[in-house]
Amino acid sequence: MKKNPIEDLFKKISPELDREEPMAGHQDRFLEKLQAQNARKPGGVSWWKPLAIAASVALLFGVFIGSLYQNPSAEETLAEMGPEVSNTELYFAAVIEEQLTLLQQQDSPEAKILIADAMDQLAFLEEDYSQMRTDLLEGGDYKIILSAMVQNFQMRIDLLEDVMQKVESVKNLKEQNDENFTL
């Protein structure tokens, strides 16, 4: 079995390492410092941890409240841009809703097919409109985007009017065929 060379080294130099002793009274001075340090702590309770936790909770609460008031809704932002935008949206939405109500009152199978197709096209136009609103809120060119938004509303209204005319044409054609049909 091999001997550890480090042990051999320490055996050789140990008389040189152990030759100095601490000064007289070293232990007494150490105990006095330790007692003085313990005497400075009031009751031995540290208030730093609870204080740090309370400060963290207050900071998180402040950030949460600040985030609630910082992000206005899309409607609020558009209303701030101008009352004309909000009024225009309300007007076009009312016209579109009125035409949709008239279309949905049609009950023939042919009309239902035309209305279903129109609803798909309206959904596509609504997606485009949502993208335009996002672009406007993100700081796009105000005039161009508003013009495109108005054109989008106008396209929806034109689509609904066109579908209404087609439904009326189908209805009239069907009535004429029924009148001309004899037994």
Is the per-residue pLDDT at 46 higher than 80?
no
* pLDDT tens per residue, range 67-100: 766 655 555 655 566 666 677 778 888 888 888 8
Domain parsing of the chain, residue ranges: 74-176
Three-state secondary-structure class, residue 15: helix
- Beta-carbon contacts of 130 under 8 Å, excluding residues fewer than 6 positions away, are none
Q: What percent of the chain has pLDDT above 90?
A: 2
The two tokens of residue 91 are 């007007």
Residues 125 and 88: beta-carbon distance below 8 Å: no
Q: How crowded is the C-beta side of 106, counted as CA atoms within 13 Å?
A: 23
Give tens-digit pLDDT for 97-118.
888 888 888 777 878 888 888 8
pTM: 0.51
Q: Sign of the C-alpha dihedral, residues 169, 172, 175, 180?
A: negative
Mean pLDDT of 27-34: 86
Rounded alpha-carbon distances, angstroms, from residue 77 to 51, 86, 134: 40, 10, 11
Name the residue among 149, 132, 129, 130 with its Cα closest to residue 140. 132
108: left (phi over 0), alpha (psi -120 to 50) or beta: beta
